[in-house]
Amino acid sequence: MTPSVRSRLWASATSFALGFGVGNYGVLQVPRPDQWVWIAVAVVLMLTGAAGVLFADTSRAVSFWAILGVEVFAVFTLVPLLWTFTVATTPEGATARTLLPQDISWSAFDGAISSGTLRSAATTSLLVALVATVVAVALAVPAAYALVRLQVRARRLVYGLVVAALLMPVLALAGPFADQLVSLGAYGSRLALVVPMLVVTLPLATWLCVTVMRDVPWTLLDAVRADGATRPQQLRRFAVPHLGPGVVAAALLVFVAACNDFALGAGLAPDRPSLPLPATLLVASRQVDGSSAVAAAGLLWLLIPLIVLLVLPRRINHLLGRSYR
Amino acid sequence: MRGWRWLAPAVLVLLVVTVWPIGRAVWLSLTRSTLTGAGDQRFVGIDNYTDILSSRSWWLAVAATLAIVAVAVVLQLVLGLAFAVALRRLTVAWPVTRVLVLLPFGLLAIVSAVVWRDAVTSGFAVDWFGLDDVGPTGALVATTVGEVWRGTGITAVILLAGLLRVPTTLITSAIADGATARQRLTRVVLPAMAPAIAVATTYRALDALRILEGPLVTDAPGASVRTASFVVWDTTFSSFETGLGAAMSVVLLLLAGLLAAFLVPVLRVRRVV
C-alpha cells in the first residue's frame, strides 16, 4: 500500500517543522555539550523532511509518518537510558549535570560488582525469584492446560481470580505478610520470601501459560494419539516442540518480574542478609554518591531482561501482546 | 470434573497466598498493633477505619493517586498508539525496535525513579528547561514521567498486537470506498482494536495505581503531595502501625476493586479464556 503524495508532504512538513523547532531551541537555550544532541536530532528530523519531499511522488511503499514516529520513539527511549549511563559513570564526588557523559569513570560499576551488600542482595533476589518461578510454572502449566483444553466448571471464575491477583496492589499484602512472618519467627530469612513472592509469580505464570496453551495446535495431539503414539513419544514429539518454547519464554518473563519486584521484598526483609536487590537500591539511593551506584547496579541488572529479550525477541513480544488481549 | 484435578493445586496455592493475607489484613485492621511488639494487640473495632475515612491527608493522597493514574494512562495510551502505528509500518526496523520497545520496562522502577528525580533536581533537565528548585512535588512529577516512560513500551506492544488483528482487507476496502485517513481511523481501525485499547487502559490504570518507588525516593519532610500507596507504606513500615496500615491496605484494595469495577463495564472489557 503506497501512501499518497499529500500524506507524504504533510509528514515531511511536520518533521521539518519539528526539526526546525528543536534545532532553534537547542541553539538558543541549551548549553554545550548537550547542544550537540539537540542539533543532531534536529538535523535527522530535517533530513527526514527533505527525504520525504524527494520521495513524495515515487511508488516506494515507505511511510514517512512511520519514519518520523520511529525517530521520536528512538529519542524517547534512548535519552533516559543515556542519562542513566551518564549518572552511572559520573566520578565520585561529582554530580552529573549534562546528558552526555563528561569524564567517564567506571568506579561505580566496579563498586557494584565488588560490593558485598549488592552481591548478597542480588543472590537473594535471584534465588527467591528462581524458586518462586519454578514453583509457579510447575503449578501454572497444568492449570492453564485445564483452563484451555478441559471442560471445567467455574472456569471464568478461576480466570477472574487469576487476573484479579495479577492486578492487585501487592503492597497491600506486604504488611499482613510481614506481621505473619514476625509471629512465625521467620522474619528475615531468605526462604520465607518465596511464599509471598508466589503472589507475584503464580498469577503471571498462569496468565502467560494460558496464552501459550491457546496457540498450541491441539488437533495435532489428537492426530498423534490416533496414530498410536505412546506417552513418552507424545511428550517428545508433541509437548516439547510445541509447548516447550512458549513455556520457557513465559518462565523467563515470570523470572524477570519476580527479580524486579519491589514492594514485597522491601517490606518483608528487615536488613541485609535477606534484603533483595530493588530494596537494597532504595537504601543505597539515600547515601552519598548513591545515585551513581544505583544507576550502575540498575544497568547491570538490566542485562538480565536484555539477554532474555535478545534470545527470544519475537516470542516475548508475541506472548506479551497476545496475553493482553 | 477431570479438569479440577489439573486446576486444583494452582487455585489452592493462589487462594492461600492471597486470601490468607487479606483475611489477616482485615483482622489486623480491627486491632491496634505494632510490627515490633507483637504482644500488645488490642481490639478496637472499626476505629482505624473511622480514623482513615475522616482523615483529610488520606483523601488528598487518594486524589493525588487518581490524578497520577489518569495522566499516566492517557499519556501511555496516546504515545503507545502512535509508536505502535509507526512500528507496524516500519517492518524493516523490527529486529531492533522489538528489543528497544521493551527495554525501559526491564529497568528496575527504583532505578528509573532515582535517575528521573536526579534529572530535574540536579541533572540535565535543569539546564535544558531552566528549572529552578522544583521541590518534592516537581520531583514526584518527574518520577511519574519516568513511570510513563517505563510503561509506554509495553503499552505499545499491547496496542501493536491489537493493530495487527485489524484485517488488512477491511482497510483496503475502506480505501477502495474512498474513505479518508481520518474516516479509516475512526470508523475502521479504532473500532476493530477497541478490545486491545480497553484491556491496555484497564491494566495500565491498575498498574499505575500501585506506583510506589517514585513517591518513596522523592519524599521529603513537609512534602505537600503524597500518594495512597506511599501513605500505606509509611504507616506500615516507617511508623510500624500495623493495625492502621492494614486498614489502609484494605481501603487501597477496595479502591483498586472500585477502579476495576468502573473500568471493566465502561470499556466493555471482555475476555474469554
In this prediction the ipTM stands at: 0.87
Nearest residue in B to A70, CA atom: B86
Q: Is the pLDDT of residue A134 over 90?
A: yes
Q: Using one digit for the tens of pLDDT, what is the confidence trace for B21-56?
A: 898 888 888 888 776 665 567 777 788 888 888 888
What integer is the mean pLDDT of B251-269? Answer: 85
Report helix angle A64-88 to B94-106, nearest 10.
40
Residue B1's pLDDT band (boundaries 50, 70, 90)? Answer: low
Residues of A with Cβ-Cβ distance to B110 under 8 angstroms:
262, 278, 281-282, 285, 294, 298
Q: Which of A105, A127, A147 is the last residue of a domain?
A: A105
Q: Which of A83, A105, A127 is the last residue of a domain?
A: A105
Shared domain for A159 and A71, answered yes or no, is no
Interface check for B136 against chain A (CB to CB < 8 A): the answer is: no
DSSP 8-state symbol, B239 = S
Q: Using one digit for the tens of pLDDT, what is the confidence trace for A286-302?
A: 877 788 888 888 898 88
Which superfamily is assigned to B2-267 in CATH?
Answer: MetI-like (1.10.3720.10)
* Cβ within 8 Å, pair A146-B199: no
Q: What are the residue boundaries of the structural domains of chain B, listed by start?
A: 2-267
Closest CA–CA distance from residue B180 to any residue of chain A (Å): 11
Q: Do the domain assignments include residue A110?
A: no
Tally of domains in chain A: 2
* Cβ within 8 Å, pair A320-B38: no
List, in sequence order, every residue forming a beta bridge with B43; answer none if it has no partner: B31
Shared domain for A174 and A211, answered yes or no, is yes
What integer is the mean pLDDT of A179-207? Answer: 83
Shared domain for A152 and A98, answered yes or no, is no
**CB neighbour list of residue B48: distance below 8 Å, 6 or more residues apart:** B29, B30, B32, B243, B244, B246, B247
* Cβ within 8 Å, pair A76-B149: yes
In chain B, residues 39-78 whose CB comes closer than 8 Å to chain A: none
Query: What pLDDT is stored for residue B167 in this prediction?
Result: 84
Residues of A with Cβ-Cβ distance to B152 under 8 angstroms:
76
Nearest residue in B to A169, CA atom: B210
Closest CA to A105 of A96, A114, A118: A96
Shared domain for A18 and A125, answered yes or no, is no
Q: Rounded to a whole number, what is the distance in angstroms from the first to the last CA of chain A?
A: 27
**DSSP secondary structure string, chain B?**
-HHHHHHHHHHHHHHHHHHHHHHHHHHHHTEE--SS--S--EE-TTHHHHHHHT-HHHHHHHHHHHHHHHHHHHHHHHHHHHHHHHHHH-GGGHHHHHHHHHHHHHS-HHHHHHHHHHHHHTSHHHHHHT----HHHHHHHHHHHHHHHHHHHHHHHHHHHHHHTS-HHHHHHHHHTT--HHHIIIIIIHHHTHHHHHHHHHHHHHHHHT--HHHHHH--TT-S---HHHHHHIIIIIS--HHHHHHHHHHHHHHHHHHHHHHHHHHT-----
Q: Do the domain assignments include residue A13?
A: yes
| Of A60-69, A185-194, A240-249, minimum mean pLDDT range | A185-194
Closest CA–CA distance from residue B171 to any residue of chain A (Å): 10
Q: Is B135 left (phi over 0), alpha (psi -120 to 50) or beta?
A: left
What integer is the mean pLDDT of A64-93? Answer: 89
Q: Which of A56, A73, A105 is the last residue of a domain?
A: A105
Query: What pLDDT is stored for residue B126 in this prediction?
Result: 83
Query: What pLDDT is stored for residue B179 in this prediction?
Result: 82
Closest CA–CA distance from residue A126 to any residue of chain B (Å): 14
Residues of A with Cβ-Cβ distance to B95 under 8 angstroms:
313
Closest CA–CA distance from residue B14 to any residue of chain A (Å): 7
**Domain harbouring A299, CATH code:** 1.10.3720.10
* Cβ within 8 Å, pair B111-A76: no
Query: Under a CB-based contact definition with an 8 Å cutoff, are residues B109 and A106 in contact?
Result: no
Closest CA to A304 of A83, A115, A107, A126: A126
Residues of A with Cβ-Cβ distance to B109 under 8 angstroms:
260, 262, 278
Q: Using one digit for the tens of pLDDT, what is the confidence trace for B230-258?
A: 888 888 888 778 888 888 889 989 989 89
Shared domain for A120 and A236, answered yes or no, is yes
Shared domain for A179 and A84, answered yes or no, is no
B107, B127, B157: residue with CB nearest A31: B127
Residues of B with Cβ-Cβ distance to A134 under 8 angstroms:
none
Shared domain for A209 and A265, answered yes or no, is yes
Question: Which of A109, A155, A177, A291 should be substituted to probe chain B, the one whose Cβ sees the most B Cβ atoms within 10 Å?
Answer: A291
Shared domain for A140 and A272, answered yes or no, is yes
* Cβ within 8 Å, pair A203-B14: yes
Query: Could you tell me which residue, B213 or B149, shows the higher pLDDT?
Result: B149
* Cβ within 8 Å, pair A1-B175: yes
Query: Under a CB-based contact definition with an 8 Å cutoff, are residues B188 and B166 in contact?
Result: yes
Q: Do the domain assignments include residue A69?
A: yes
* Cβ within 8 Å, pair B260-A164: yes
Shared domain for A160 and A286, answered yes or no, is yes
Nearest residue in A to B24, CA atom: A176
Shared domain for A97 and A162, answered yes or no, is no
The backbone torsions φ and ψ at residue B46, rounded to the nearest 5 degrees and listed phi first, read: -95, 20
Domain that includes residue A69, residue range: 5-105
List, in sequence order, every residue forming a beta bridge with B32; answer none if it has no partner: B42
Q: Is the pLDDT of residue A76 over 90?
A: yes
Question: Which of B40, B62, B87, B114 should be substituted to probe chain A, the one whose Cβ sees the most A Cβ atoms within 10 Å?
Answer: B114
Chain A with chain B: Cβ pairs closer than 8 A = 337
Q: Using one digit for the tens of pLDDT, what is the confidence trace for B190-205?
A: 888 888 888 888 888 9
C-alpha cell at position A267: 517490606
Query: What pLDDT is stored for residue A272 in this prediction?
Result: 59
Residues of B with Cβ-Cβ distance to A324 under 8 angstroms:
157-158, 161, 196, 199-200, 203
Tell me the pTM.
Answer: 0.88
Query: What pLDDT is stored for residue B96 in this prediction?
Result: 85
Shared domain for A297 and A234, answered yes or no, is yes
Residues of B with Cβ-Cβ distance to A304 under 8 angstroms:
106
A95, A143, A156: residue with CB nearest B6: A143
Shared domain for A43 and A146, answered yes or no, is no
